[in-house]
Structure 1
């Protein structure tokens, strides 16, 4: 695992040298066996039934949080809220509520974290600025 540096309320530097892939990130977010995001979060996923409602809706999260803030929440949300029920997806020390299959290894690899960040940042309520032709 690569060490991470928290600056303020973010991990500003990507965990990998390869950029995140939003398409792979979306696949992980809606995958109920790997990313597990939909156990707690709803969002703009009309094809997915029965999303969770314990965590915030992911709709528009790209307007609310920077890539670094999203990265910190995925890596270790306990750095922001020690009482969070969200698992730390890229942390091994002091993990709680982690299934036996994920003990002693991160729940998600560094590239998967970057792929999810790349996807989440695309979830915007406001239209993207487009260059004028």
Structure 2
């Protein structure tokens, strides 16, 4: 009985601690474009990061970037720079900032902001009358950002 009571008290506290570890998109602290602190407090999984980067329903980074380490992924892009050697060119904090919101590092870039909820310029109402109402969710979750960063850190020269 004592064990059940103790677990009943500890479990919500532990779950609350895990939930607090994730940084909300609007709370991300950029320093010269870099994000020093993990968005989740959990290390990224490079295998999951590769999936996010190559999956058209997720990040689809390869639509614009070439990655030699992904030879089985067809139709890699050439709009953005090659990501070969990304782990040598940038530090982890810089990569986290670029993947979260590249506009904080590269003024005028066309790279999407993957972990941002606004503000956005919404011109859809003027053209279609069907612009999304309310707050848009980020394109990727905080853990997916960490996974992509972990994968990019494996891309060495």
Q: TM-score normalised to the size of structure 2? A: 0.72
Q: 1:21 to 1:96 in 2, by over 3 A?
A: farther
CA distance in structure 2 between the partners assigned to 1:110 and 1:77 by the alignment = 15
The aligned residue for residue 49 of structure 2 is 25
The aligned residue for residue 114 of structure 1 is 146
Structure with the higher helix share, 1 or 2:
2
The aligned residue for residue 58 of structure 1 is 83
Q: Which of 1 and 2 has greater Rg?
A: 2
CA distance in structure 2 between the partners assigned to 1:54 and 1:4 by the alignment = 27
CA distance in structure 1 between the partners assigned to 2:59 and 2:105 by the alignment = 20
Q: 1:68 aligned to 2:96? A: no
Shift of the alpha carbon at 1:96?
5.6
Residue pairs, 1:1-133, within 5 angstroms: 1-2=24-25, 3-44=27-68, 45-95=70-120, 104-125=136-157
SS of the residue aligned with 1:121?
helix
CA distance in structure 2 between the partners assigned to 1:95 and 1:55 by the alignment = 22
Shift of the alpha carbon at 1:82?
3.0
How many residues matched?
Answer: 122
Shift of the alpha carbon at 1:117?
0.3
Structure 1 runs not aligned, ≥5 long: 126-133
CA distance in structure 2 between the partners assigned to 1:38 and 1:69 by the alignment = 19
Q: Could you list the structure 1 runs, at least 4 aligned residues long, displaced by more than 4 angstroms after superposition.
A: none
Structure 2 runs not aligned, ≥5 long: 1-23, 123-130
CA distance in structure 1 between the partners assigned to 2:87 and 2:120 by the alignment = 27
Q: 1:13 to 1:64 in 2, by over 3 A?
A: same
**CA shift digits 1:96-119 (9 cap, x unpaired):** 69x96xx61000000000000001
